[in-house]
Amino acid sequence: MFENQLEQLNNICPGWTTNGSMFTNSTEHGGIIDKTFPTEKYPNGYWFIIFNDDREIIIEIKSLNDAIDAFDKASELEFC
pLDDT for residue 14: 96
pLDDT for residue 77: 66
Report how far residue 63's alpha carbon sits from residue 61's, in angstroms, rounded to the nearest whole number: 6
Q: What share of the chain is helix, strand, coil (3-state, %, to 5)?
A: 25, 25, 50
pLDDT for residue 5: 95
Encode pLDDT of 16-71 as tens digits. 999 988 999 999 999 999 999 999 999 999 999 999 999 999 999 999 999 999 99
Helix H or strand E segment including 69: helix 64-74
